[in-house]
A and B are shown apart, each in its own frame.
Chain A
Amino acid sequence: GNSVTQMEGPVTLSEEAFLTINCTYTATGYPSLFWYVQYPGEGLQLLLKATKADDKGSNKGFEATYRKETTSFHLEKGSVQVSDSAVYFCALRLSSNTGKLIFGQGTTLQVKP
Protein backbone atom coordinates (compact mmCIF):
# COMPACT_ATOMS: atom_id res chain seq x y z
CA GLY A 1 0.00 0.00 0.00
CA ASN A 2 0.92 3.66 -0.01
CA SER A 3 2.96 4.84 2.95
CA VAL A 4 5.53 7.32 4.23
CA THR A 5 8.34 6.49 6.64
CA GLN A 6 10.33 9.11 8.54
CA MET A 7 13.33 8.80 10.74
CA GLU A 8 12.45 8.49 14.39
CA GLY A 9 13.04 11.37 16.70
CA PRO A 10 13.55 13.35 18.66
CA VAL A 11 16.43 14.95 16.84
CA THR A 12 18.44 17.26 19.08
CA LEU A 13 20.89 19.71 17.54
CA SER A 14 22.86 22.74 18.57
CA GLU A 15 22.13 26.05 16.91
CA GLU A 16 23.82 26.42 13.50
CA ALA A 17 24.17 22.65 13.06
CA PHE A 18 23.26 20.91 9.79
CA LEU A 19 19.90 19.17 9.72
CA THR A 20 18.77 16.11 7.81
CA ILE A 21 15.45 14.41 8.40
CA ASN A 22 15.03 11.30 6.28
CA CYS A 23 11.79 10.47 4.50
CA THR A 24 11.08 7.56 2.18
CA TYR A 25 7.82 6.62 0.56
CA THR A 26 5.97 3.80 -1.12
CA ALA A 27 3.35 4.81 -3.65
CA THR A 28 1.71 3.81 -6.88
CA GLY A 29 1.83 6.24 -9.72
CA TYR A 30 3.48 9.62 -9.43
CA PRO A 31 2.77 11.27 -6.11
CA SER A 32 3.44 14.81 -5.05
CA LEU A 33 5.55 15.15 -1.92
CA PHE A 34 5.29 17.63 0.91
CA TRP A 35 6.95 18.66 4.14
CA TYR A 36 4.71 20.19 6.79
CA VAL A 37 5.84 21.76 10.06
CA GLN A 38 3.90 21.91 13.32
CA TYR A 39 4.93 24.40 15.98
CA PRO A 40 3.80 23.75 19.56
CA GLY A 41 0.07 24.18 20.03
CA GLU A 42 -0.57 24.94 16.39
CA GLY A 43 -1.83 23.21 13.29
CA LEU A 44 0.33 22.07 10.41
CA GLN A 45 1.81 24.52 7.95
CA LEU A 46 3.17 23.71 4.54
CA LEU A 47 6.95 24.06 4.52
CA LEU A 48 7.76 22.98 0.97
CA LYS A 49 6.62 20.69 -1.80
CA ALA A 50 7.77 18.93 -4.98
CA THR A 51 5.45 17.62 -7.63
CA LYS A 52 7.67 15.53 -9.88
CA ALA A 53 10.95 13.64 -9.91
CA ASP A 54 14.10 15.73 -9.45
CA ASP A 55 12.12 18.78 -8.33
CA LYS A 56 13.63 20.62 -5.39
CA GLY A 57 11.34 22.31 -2.94
CA SER A 58 12.74 25.09 -0.77
CA ASN A 59 11.52 27.55 1.84
CA LYS A 60 12.98 29.38 4.85
CA GLY A 61 16.39 27.75 4.27
CA PHE A 62 14.95 24.24 4.15
CA GLU A 63 15.32 22.10 1.03
CA ALA A 64 14.18 18.68 -0.15
CA THR A 65 14.69 16.95 -3.49
CA TYR A 66 12.20 14.46 -4.95
CA ARG A 67 14.31 11.34 -5.69
CA LYS A 68 12.24 8.80 -7.56
CA GLU A 69 15.10 6.31 -7.91
CA THR A 70 15.45 6.06 -4.13
CA THR A 71 11.81 6.98 -3.33
CA SER A 72 13.05 9.62 -0.93
CA PHE A 73 12.37 13.24 -0.01
CA HIS A 74 14.86 14.08 2.72
CA LEU A 75 14.60 17.46 4.44
CA GLU A 76 17.79 19.48 4.93
CA LYS A 77 18.84 22.80 6.37
CA GLY A 78 22.35 24.09 6.51
CA SER A 79 22.15 26.00 9.79
CA VAL A 80 19.26 25.46 12.19
CA GLN A 81 17.97 28.01 14.67
CA VAL A 82 16.19 27.62 17.98
CA SER A 83 13.04 28.83 16.25
CA ASP A 84 13.12 25.76 13.98
CA SER A 85 12.20 23.55 16.94
CA ALA A 86 9.00 21.85 15.87
CA VAL A 87 7.55 18.58 14.59
CA TYR A 88 8.16 17.91 10.89
CA PHE A 89 5.88 15.71 8.80
CA CYS A 90 6.62 14.23 5.42
CA ALA A 91 3.53 13.51 3.32
CA LEU A 92 2.55 12.28 -0.10
CA ARG A 93 -0.44 13.03 -2.26
CA LEU A 94 -1.48 10.54 -4.87
CA SER A 95 -2.44 11.51 -8.38
CA SER A 96 -6.13 11.19 -7.79
CA ASN A 97 -9.11 13.45 -7.50
CA THR A 98 -9.44 13.30 -3.76
CA GLY A 99 -6.47 15.34 -2.62
CA LYS A 100 -5.88 13.02 0.30
CA LEU A 101 -2.54 13.20 2.07
CA ILE A 102 -0.69 10.26 3.58
CA PHE A 103 1.58 11.35 6.43
CA GLY A 104 4.66 9.95 8.02
CA GLN A 105 4.75 9.66 11.79
CA GLY A 106 6.48 12.99 12.32
CA THR A 107 9.96 13.85 13.58
CA THR A 108 10.47 16.16 16.53
CA LEU A 109 13.37 18.59 16.20
CA GLN A 110 14.83 20.31 19.24
CA VAL A 111 17.44 22.99 18.67
CA LYS A 112 19.44 24.12 21.67
CA PRO A 113 21.19 27.49 21.93
Chain B
Amino acid sequence: NAGVTQTPKFQVLKTGQSMTLQCAQDMNHNSMYWYRQDPGMGLRLIYYSASEGTTDKGEVPNGYNVSRLNKREFSLRLESAAPSQTSVYFCASSPQGDYSNQPQHFGDGTRLSIL
Protein backbone atom coordinates (compact mmCIF):
# COMPACT_ATOMS: atom_id res chain seq x y z
CA ASN B 1 0.00 0.00 0.00
CA ALA B 2 1.93 2.96 -1.37
CA GLY B 3 -0.38 5.78 -0.24
CA VAL B 4 0.98 9.08 -1.54
CA THR B 5 4.08 8.87 -3.71
CA GLN B 6 6.20 11.90 -4.55
CA THR B 7 8.98 12.12 -7.10
CA PRO B 8 11.75 13.08 -7.07
CA LYS B 9 12.87 12.86 -3.43
CA PHE B 10 15.74 15.31 -3.92
CA GLN B 11 16.50 17.92 -6.56
CA VAL B 12 18.99 20.71 -7.04
CA LEU B 13 18.19 23.43 -9.56
CA LYS B 14 19.83 26.58 -10.76
CA THR B 15 17.99 29.87 -10.59
CA GLY B 16 15.70 30.24 -13.59
CA GLN B 17 15.35 26.56 -14.34
CA SER B 18 11.97 24.91 -14.41
CA MET B 19 10.80 21.61 -13.06
CA THR B 20 7.71 19.64 -12.17
CA LEU B 21 7.17 17.79 -8.92
CA GLN B 22 5.02 14.73 -9.30
CA CYS B 23 2.50 13.33 -6.85
CA ALA B 24 0.26 10.30 -7.12
CA GLN B 25 -2.09 8.66 -4.65
CA ASP B 26 -3.65 5.23 -4.84
CA MET B 27 -6.36 5.67 -2.19
CA ASN B 28 -9.08 6.96 -4.53
CA HIS B 29 -9.08 10.29 -2.70
CA ASN B 30 -10.91 13.25 -4.17
CA SER B 31 -8.82 16.05 -2.70
CA MET B 32 -5.12 16.72 -3.10
CA TYR B 33 -2.82 19.40 -1.74
CA TRP B 34 0.65 20.84 -2.14
CA TYR B 35 2.47 22.33 0.86
CA ARG B 36 5.90 23.75 1.45
CA GLN B 37 7.72 23.35 4.74
CA ASP B 38 10.21 25.94 5.89
CA PRO B 39 12.01 26.12 9.25
CA GLY B 40 9.94 27.82 11.92
CA MET B 41 6.95 28.27 9.63
CA GLY B 42 5.21 24.95 9.66
CA LEU B 43 3.52 23.86 6.47
CA ARG B 44 1.96 26.40 4.18
CA LEU B 45 -0.55 25.52 1.50
CA ILE B 46 0.52 26.35 -2.04
CA TYR B 47 -2.36 24.98 -4.11
CA TYR B 48 -5.06 22.45 -3.65
CA SER B 49 -7.54 20.50 -5.69
CA ALA B 50 -10.79 19.79 -3.91
CA SER B 51 -11.85 17.38 -6.64
CA GLU B 52 -10.76 16.20 -10.05
CA GLY B 53 -10.94 19.05 -12.52
CA THR B 54 -10.62 21.87 -10.00
CA THR B 55 -7.64 23.70 -8.55
CA ASP B 56 -7.42 26.68 -6.23
CA LYS B 57 -4.74 28.87 -4.73
CA GLY B 58 -3.63 28.41 -1.19
CA GLU B 59 -1.65 30.72 1.06
CA VAL B 60 1.56 30.98 -1.01
CA PRO B 61 0.79 30.32 -4.71
CA ASN B 62 3.12 32.85 -6.34
CA GLY B 63 5.74 31.26 -8.56
CA TYR B 64 3.92 27.94 -8.85
CA ASN B 65 1.39 26.27 -11.08
CA VAL B 66 -0.45 23.00 -10.66
CA SER B 67 -2.22 20.42 -12.77
CA ARG B 68 -4.72 17.87 -11.59
CA LEU B 69 -4.04 15.39 -14.34
CA ASN B 70 -6.62 12.87 -13.19
CA LYS B 71 -8.01 11.67 -9.89
CA ARG B 72 -4.69 10.06 -8.91
CA GLU B 73 -2.16 12.67 -9.93
CA PHE B 74 -1.50 16.27 -8.93
CA SER B 75 1.68 17.95 -10.14
CA LEU B 76 3.38 21.16 -9.02
CA ARG B 77 5.43 23.19 -11.49
CA LEU B 78 8.06 25.83 -10.90
CA GLU B 79 8.36 27.78 -14.13
CA SER B 80 11.41 29.83 -13.18
CA ALA B 81 12.94 28.67 -9.95
CA ALA B 82 14.16 31.21 -7.39
CA PRO B 83 16.32 30.69 -4.29
CA SER B 84 13.31 31.61 -2.13
CA GLN B 85 11.64 28.42 -3.35
CA THR B 86 14.26 26.27 -1.65
CA SER B 87 12.13 24.17 0.64
CA VAL B 88 10.69 20.75 1.35
CA TYR B 89 7.52 20.15 -0.62
CA PHE B 90 4.80 17.82 0.57
CA CYS B 91 1.87 16.44 -1.32
CA ALA B 92 -1.18 15.23 0.58
CA SER B 93 -4.56 13.75 -0.19
CA SER B 94 -7.81 13.22 1.65
CA PRO B 95 -10.99 11.27 0.90
CA GLN B 96 -13.19 14.29 0.33
CA GLY B 97 -13.24 17.96 1.10
CA ASP B 98 -16.87 18.36 1.95
CA TYR B 99 -17.40 18.48 5.70
CA SER B 100 -15.06 15.57 6.12
CA ASN B 101 -12.98 14.93 9.20
CA GLN B 102 -10.88 12.39 7.47
CA PRO B 103 -7.18 13.12 7.87
CA GLN B 104 -4.88 14.10 5.11
CA HIS B 105 -2.30 11.51 4.06
CA PHE B 106 1.14 12.85 3.25
CA GLY B 107 3.93 11.78 0.97
CA ASP B 108 7.54 11.66 2.16
CA GLY B 109 8.41 14.99 0.59
CA THR B 110 10.67 16.43 -2.10
CA ARG B 111 13.73 18.30 -0.88
CA LEU B 112 14.40 21.07 -3.38
CA SER B 113 17.45 23.32 -3.37
CA ILE B 114 17.77 26.25 -5.75
CA LEU B 115 21.19 27.75 -6.21
Which residues on A are within 8 Å of B, measured CB to CB? 4, 32, 34, 36, 41-46, 49, 51, 89, 93, 95-106
B50 within 8 A of A: yes
- The main secondary structure of chain B at its interface with chain A is loop
B74 within 8 A of A: no
Known A43-B108, A44-B106: A99·B42 in contact at CB below 8 Å: no
Rounded to whole angstroms, the CA-CA distance of A105 and B40 in the bound complex is 5
B101 touches A51 (CB 8 A): yes
Please count the residue pairs between chain A and chain B whose beta carbons lie under 8 angstroms apart in the complex: 68
Interface centre among A42, A44, A93, A103, by most chain B C-beta atoms within 10 angstroms, is A44
Minimum C-beta distance from B73 to chain A (A): 17
B40 touches A97 (CB 8 A): no
Besides A32-B101, A41-B108, A105-B41, 5 new A-B residue pairs in contact (Cβ under 8 A), listed by A number: A4-B42, A44-B43, A95-B99, A99-B100, A100-B97
A-B contact list, 19 entries, CB within 8 Å = A42-B109, A46-B104, A49-B103, A89-B42, A95-B99, A97-B50, A97-B98, A97-B99, A98-B50, A98-B56, A99-B31, A99-B94, A99-B100, A100-B33, A100-B97, A103-B35, A104-B42, A105-B42, A106-B42
